[in-house]
Structure 1
Amino acid sequence: MEGLLKCSAVNYVPLTPISFLERAANAFRGRTSIIDGTSVKYNWEETYDRCIKLASALSELGISRGDMVATLARNVYAMQELHFAVPMAGAVICTLNTRHDSAMLSVLLKHSETKVIFVDQHLLQLAQGALDILANEKVTPPLLVVISESNNSYHTIVNSNSYEYESLLESGNSEFSVRWPTSEFDPISVNYTSGTTSQPKGVVYSHRGAYLNTIATFLLHEMSSWPVYLWTVPTFHCNGWCLTWGLAALGGTSICLRQVYPKNIFENIAEHKVTHMSGAPTVLNMLVNSPVSDRKPLPHSVNIMTGGSPPPPQIISKMEELGFRVHHLYGLTETYGPGTYCLWRPEWDSLPPNEKYKLRARQGVQHLCSEAVDVMDPLTMEKVPEDGKTIGEIMFRGNTVMSEYLKDEEATKEAFKGGWFHSGDLAVKHPDGYIEVKDRLKDIVISGGENISTVEVERVLYSHPAVFETAVVARPDNHWGQTPCAFVKLKDGSNVSDQEIINFCRDNLPHYMAPRTVIFQDLPKTSTGKIQKFILREKARALGSLC
C-alpha cells in the first residue's frame, strides 16, 4: 500500500510509560495518587506538577539526555515521583539495591557513571561511605540529594554538592517542557541484578519495553480502574515490576510501605482498603506464619502477585484461607520483571484442593506483550517435548527482553545466543502448554547421574509442620558426586532433629532425592526476599565431601 504517512504530529509517537502520567493528570486529577504515612498525600494533578518541577530541577543541575540518575531508597513517595521525573528530564533512572554495602555501591555508581544520586535519609551513611570511596579513588562523585523522612525539609547539609529533595523540587519550573524520547528504544532505566549471584550486571530497559511490560503487568495482576496498591515489593526491583508507571495508567493509589512486616501489611490493607499487592514467596510465608495478634480481617479479597522461587502449594492454600487471591508469575530482571503467569482456567475450580494449588504454583504461559517464551534444549536450540518430564532451559524473545547488559557486550551476546534470551532456569513444559520451573541451571543437584530438582525437595520440606523456610543446594560427595544439602529455618518453638527432617523427606520422595545433610540456620536473602543460594552453595562446599 503506497502513500502511508508516518507523522509525529498525527499518528506516531515513541511508546513511553511517562505518557501515562500526563494522561493521569487530566483523566484522574483529584484522585489520590500517593499516600506515604500520615504526612504525605497527593492527587494525580499534584503528582504531575511535582514531577515536572523535579525534571526541571534536574535539568538545572546539568542533567541532559542519557545521563544516569541513581536512587538509594526504600518505598518512599519520592521513588514514585522519580520514576517519572528522571526520564521526563531525558535521563536514565538507576534504582540501587538498598542492601548493598558502601563498597558495592561505589562500584555500581562508578560503572553506571551516575551524575546525581537521590538517597533516603535513613540510608545516608551507607551512601556517604560509597561517595567517600569514589573520592579516595579520584573519581568525581555524583551530586547528592537527600530524601527526608516526610515532605518536610531536611536541614542537614552534608557538603556543598548536596541538596534536599523538597527544596530542589520547589526550585523547578512548572512550565518545563518534557524531554520525550527521540526513539522508543532509548534507555529509560538500568537495573542491576538483585544479587542472587555474586556479581550484579546492569540491565538496560527501553521506553518501549517498559511501556509494554507495564501494560502486561497490570493485566496479569487483574487490575482495573482505581486500584489501591500496597508497596511490599521493593520499588527499586525491576522498577517495582513496572507498576511504578502502571498505577498512573489506571488512576491507582500507591500506599508506600517502608517497613514490610505482617502487622504493617494487615493494618494498611484495613485502613486504605488495599486491592492489590506483590511480594516474593518469603512475604507470603511471613504472612501465613504471622501471629494472630498481628492480623486484621481483610475488607475484601486482596490480589497478591508473587514471583521468584516457586511458592509451595501449601503456602498458596493458607494465603487463600486468609483472604488473599494469589497470582503466580515468573520472570527475571532481564525481562522487566514479570514474563509469564499462571493463567487460571475456570474448569480447574472443581478440582480437589491439592491439585488446584499444584496448578497454581506453576509458572504458566507468556503474558500478552511477550513475543515468545519456551522451554528449549540449550545445546540444540530445539523445543523440548510437552510431556511434563523433559527438562530444558526457559528462553524469551520479544519487546520485553532487555536491550543489553550495560558496558558488557560479551555477556549480552552470550545471553542472546541463538536468537533467544537464555534465562538460566530449568523447566518442563506440560501438555497444556504451561511451563513449570524445576531449578536454576546452577542449582540442579547431579547425584549418581540423576538430576535432582531442588525446587521439588524444597516443596516437600515446606510441607513439614516445623519448617518455616528452607533452601536446598548441592554438597560434594566422593561416591555420588553431589548430594542434596538442606538449609532449614524452623518455626518459633519447633524442635526437630536433622534425622527427623531427612526421614520425612525419604517418606515423601525417592530416597536419592532426600537430603543427606540438614543445617539449621537463618537463610541469607536479597532485599527483594530471594534466598541467596550462592552463599549457601559456598557454605555447602566448605563442608567438604560427605563420604
Structure 2
Amino acid sequence: MSTTVYQAFAEAAQQWPQHPFLCVTPETAHAYGIAAGEISYRDAQASIDALKATFGAAGYGHGHRVGVLLENRPAFILHWFALNALGVSVVPINIDMRATELEYLIDHSDIVLAIALPERHALLQAAAQAAGRSLLLMEANQPPPAAPGDAPFSTSRIDMSTECALLYTSGTTGRPKGCILPNEYFLAAGRWYAQAGGLAALSPGRDRMLTPLPLVHMNAMAYSVMAMVITGGCLIAIDRFHPKTWWDTVRESRATVIHYLGVMPAILMKAPVTDQDRTHQVRMGFGAGIDRSLHAPFEQRFGFPLLEAWAMTETGAGAVIIANHEPRFVGSSCFGKESDDIQVRIINDAGEPAATDENGELLVRHAGPDPRFGFFAAYLKDDTATRQAWEGGWFHTGDIVRRNRQGYLHFVDRKKNVIRRSGENIAAVEVESVLVQHAAVKAVAVAAVPDEVRGDEVLACIVSHAALDASQATELAHDIARWSLTQLAYYKVPGYIAFVQELPLTITNKVQRGELKSLAPTLPGTPMCIDTRALKKRQEPVA
C-alpha cells in the first residue's frame, strides 16, 4: 500500500492510465488563459515525473517547504505531487492574500520558494522583504532556481509521517495557525471517501467530481483530489462558483458528484425554476452549512441529496462525520452519526457529559491504538496550542453540537460565536441563517455587544442590497426586527442592527469573527446602527 501521495497517484496511473484525471472546463480555461480539455492519468504521471526530475536536480528535497500560488489550475496538483515525491511540503497560498497576510505566511512557514502566477511575484517579493526573508520565485512553466540550501532531512526516509502540506486555518477568531499535514492525512482522507458508502458511495474509475472550492481549502485538496486519486475518478476543479452558468458547467462536464458550501444552494435556489433543473448526472452533493429551510426544497427541485458533513482542517478524515445514511433529518442541521472508528464526547459548560438534546462542545478522536490517526500532526511553532487542543487526550473542536434521541449529531455554532443574553445561549449562525432570508439583506454577520442588564445583546451587521440613508436605515432596521420576531424567539432578535458596506471576511470568505468581535462594540451610537431593543418583546403564542 502506498505511503505517500505521489505513490498513491502512481498506483492509480498504473491502474487507470487512459482514464481522465483532470478536466478543465472552457469557462475555467478562459478565466485562467489555459487550454480546456482533459488530462489522462498517464499524461499527468509523465508531467509529474518530469517536474520531479527538475526539482530534484535543483536540490529540493525532504524538509523543504515551497509555496504554491496557482489557484485551481492543473499545475497546482502536478507540482504538488512532484514535490511530494521528493519529500517537499507544499504551502498553498490564497490568491486573495495581501501584504500583511503574505508577510505573516512567508515568515511563519519558512518557505524557500514560491511557485506563483507572474502577476503576484512583486507582491510576494515585497512581503518577503518586509518579513526579512529571502524568497525564490518561479512561474509554473519555468525551471526551478537552485535550492538555497541542503534539504533538512535528506538522510531520512520519506513515508506516511513525512509532512505533505502546511495548511493554514481560516483565522476566523485570530491569526491563522499552520497545520502540519503528513502524507497519512491525505491518504486517510482519500481512502475514507472511497469507503464511505451509503449515499456517498463512489464508483471506481467512473465518477467525475466537480468542486468550485479553492485548492487552498482542505475540502478540495484532501477530499476532492485524493478521493479521485484513490478511486481513479476525474476531478473537475473550476476557477470559482459561477451561479449563472453553474448548471451548464455541471451538465457539460458530466459531473456525478459536486462539492458545495452553504451559500451556494441559497444562491441557486433564487434562480427561476426551469425544465432543465433535473437534467444532469449528479448523484449527490458533499458539503456543509446549507440553510435548514432550503435543504429539502433544494433536494426536491434538483433531484439529488446534499450530504451535510463535519470536519476541520485539524481533524481531516480522522474524525469526519457525514449524514450519508437515512434518516438524515433534513432541515435540522444534522450531520449524521459517527462511525465505529471515531469516538465522540459532548461536554457542557461544567465539563460534564451533555444530556440528550443539550448543547455542548464536541470532542473527538480516532478509535483504536492511535487517537490522532488521520489528524494534523501539530500546529507549526505552537506546541502550547497543540497541547491545549488535545487536552485530556481528546481533540477540542470548539464547535457546539447536540445529539438527538436517535443518536444523531446536530451542528449549533462555533463555541466562540455563542451569545449569552440573560442566561440564554444564542447561536450567531442560527440568527444569521434567518436574517439572510429577509429580502433586503444581502449578507449578515451577528456578534455580541455588552449590555449592562443582560450581559450580552445581539448585534447584526447587515449589508443591504440597496444603498441607504440614515432615515431609510432606521425604517429598514425596524422592519427587519419586526419580521425577525415572527421567525425567532424574541431574545434572539437583534437588539442592534448596523448597516455596513462590507463584512470582515477571511481569505476563504468566512466571517472574520475576531475582527467582528472587535468591531461590534464600536457600532452602537453611530448613525447607521439602529437600536431595536425596544422592539424585543415576548410574542404571544400562535394559536
**The TM-score by the shorter chain falls in which range?**
0.7 to 0.9
The Cα offsets for residues 386-417 of structure 1, whole Å up to 9 and x where unpaired, read as x1124234434431221100111111111111
* 8 Å Cα contact 1:395/1:423 also seen in 2: yes
* 8 Å Cα contact 1:233/1:240 also seen in 2: no
What is the CA-CA distance between 1:203 and the residue it aligns to? Answer: 0.3
Q: Take 2:130 and 2:453, find their aligned partners in 1: how far apart are those partners?
A: 51
Determine the structure 2 residue equivalent to 1:334.
314
Q: Take 2:523 and 2:55, find their aligned partners in 1: how far apart are those partners?
A: 52
Determine the structure 2 residue equivalent to 1:90.
87
2:138 matched to 1:145? Answer: yes
2:330 matched to 1:357? Answer: yes
Determine the structure 2 residue equivalent to 1:103.
100
Stretch of structure 1 that moved more, 72-81 or 522-531: 522-531
Q: Which amino acid aligns with 1:316?
A: H
The Cα offsets for residues 467-496 of structure 1, whole Å up to 9 and x where unpaired, read as 454332112222212111123345689998
Determine the structure 2 residue equivalent to 1:198.
174
Q: Take 2:190 and 2:383, find their aligned partners in 1: how far apart are those partners?
A: 27
Q: Output the aligned Cα RMSD.
A: 3.1
Q: Which SS does the other structure have where 2:80 is aligned?
A: helix
Q: Which SS does the other structure have where 1:366 is aligned?
A: coil
Determine the structure 2 residue equivalent to 1:272.
253
Percent pairwise identity: 21
The Cα offsets for residues 196-215 of structure 1, whole Å up to 9 and x where unpaired, read as 23301100112122211222
The Cα offsets for residues 332-352 of structure 1, whole Å up to 9 and x where unpaired, read as 11112794334344466xxxx
Counterpart pick for 2:484 among 495, 505, 521: 505
CA separation of 1:529/1:224 partners in 2, compared to 1, >3 Å: closer, same or farther? farther
Q: Which SS does the other structure have where 2:357 is aligned?
A: coil
What is the CA-CA distance between 1:376 and the residue it aligns to? Answer: 2.3
TM-score of the superposed pair, with normalisation by structure 2: 0.82
CA separation of 1:298/1:146 partners in 2, compared to 1, >3 Å: closer, same or farther? farther
Q: Take 1:214 and 1:367, find their aligned partners in 2: how far apart are those partners?
A: 16
Q: Give runs of aligned pairs for residues 368-407 of structure 1, distance below 5 A.
A: 371-377=342-348, 380=351, 382-385=352-355, 387-397=356-366, 398=371, 399-407=373-381
Q: Give runs of aligned pairs for residues 124-523 of structure 1, distance below 5 A.
A: 124-125=119-120, 127-135=121-129, 138-141=132-135, 143-147=136-140, 164-165=141-142, 182-220=158-196, 221-225=200-204, 226-238=206-218, 240-290=221-271, 298-307=279-288, 310-320=289-299, 321-336=301-316, 339-346=319-326, 356-359=329-332, 361-366=333-338, 371-377=342-348, 380=351, 382-385=352-355, 387-397=356-366, 398=371, 399-490=373-464, 497-521=476-500, 522-523=502-503
CA separation of 1:324/1:536 partners in 2, compared to 1, >3 Å: closer, same or farther? farther
What is the CA-CA distance between 1:43 and the residue it aligns to? Answer: 0.3
Determine the structure 1 residue equivalent to 2:514.
534
* 8 Å Cα contact 1:301/1:325 also seen in 2: no
Stretch of structure 1 that moved more, 76-85 or 314-323: 314-323
CA separation of 1:120/1:292 partners in 2, compared to 1, >3 Å: closer, same or farther? farther
Q: Take 1:338 and 1:264, find their aligned partners in 2: how far apart are those partners?
A: 35
Q: Which amino acid aligns with 2:481?
A: I
CA separation of 1:461/1:75 partners in 2, compared to 1, >3 Å: closer, same or farther? same
* 8 Å Cα contact 1:194/1:200 also seen in 2: yes
2:8 matched to 1:28? Answer: no
The Cα offsets for residues 160-193 of structure 1, whole Å up to 9 and x where unpaired, read as xxxx34x569xxxxxxxxx995442221111011
* 8 Å Cα contact 1:330/1:338 also seen in 2: no
Determine the structure 2 residue equivalent to 1:18.
6
Q: Which SS does the other structure have where 1:363 is aligned?
A: strand
Q: Take 2:467 and 2:122, find their aligned partners in 1: how far apart are those partners?
A: 41
CA separation of 1:287/1:53 partners in 2, compared to 1, >3 Å: closer, same or farther? same
Q: Take 1:467 and 1:514, find their aligned partners in 2: how far apart are those partners?
A: 15
Q: Which SS does the other structure have where 1:388 is aligned?
A: coil
Q: Which amino acid aligns with 2:338?
A: Q
* 8 Å Cα contact 1:69/1:117 also seen in 2: yes
What is the CA-CA distance between 1:291 and the residue it aligns to? Answer: 6.2
Counterpart pick for 1:65 among 62, 66, 78: 62
Q: Which SS does the other structure have where 2:320 is aligned?
A: strand
Q: Which SS does the other structure have where 1:30 is aligned?
A: coil
Stretch of structure 1 that moved more, 528-537 or 60-69: 528-537
Unpaired segments ≥5 residues, structure 1: 1-12, 148-163, 170-178, 349-355
Stretch of structure 1 that moved more, 204-213 or 219-228: 219-228
Q: Which SS does the other structure have where 2:306 is aligned?
A: strand
Q: Which amino acid aligns with 1:298?
A: T
* 8 Å Cα contact 2:342/2:364 also seen in 1: no
CA separation of 1:535/1:301 partners in 2, compared to 1, >3 Å: closer, same or farther? same
Q: Take 1:388 and 1:65, find their aligned partners in 2: how far apart are those partners?
A: 48
2:117 matched to 1:120? Answer: yes
CA separation of 1:442/1:405 partners in 2, compared to 1, >3 Å: closer, same or farther? same
Q: Which amino acid aligns with 2:46?
A: D
CA separation of 1:46/1:219 partners in 2, compared to 1, >3 Å: closer, same or farther? same
Q: Which SS does the other structure have where 1:34 is aligned?
A: strand
Stretch of structure 1 that moved more, 273-282 or 529-538: 529-538
User: Aligned pairs, how many?
Assistant: 493
TM-score of the superposed pair, with normalisation by structure 1: 0.82
Q: Which SS does the other structure have where 2:308 is aligned?
A: strand
Q: Take 2:273 and 2:137, find their aligned partners in 1: how far apart are those partners?
A: 43
CA separation of 1:302/1:534 partners in 2, compared to 1, >3 Å: closer, same or farther? farther
What is the CA-CA distance between 1:136 and the residue it aligns to? Answer: 5.2
Q: Take 2:178 and 2:349, find their aligned partners in 1: how far apart are those partners?
A: 24
CA separation of 1:234/1:318 partners in 2, compared to 1, >3 Å: closer, same or farther? farther
Q: Which amino acid aligns with 1:331?
A: A
The Cα offsets for residues 42-101 of structure 1, whole Å up to 9 and x where unpaired, read as 100111111111122211221111111111121111122133212111111111222221
Q: Take 1:337 and 1:106, find their aligned partners in 2: how far apart are those partners?
A: 31
CA separation of 1:324/1:488 partners in 2, compared to 1, >3 Å: closer, same or farther? farther
Determine the structure 1 residue equivalent to 2:150.
none
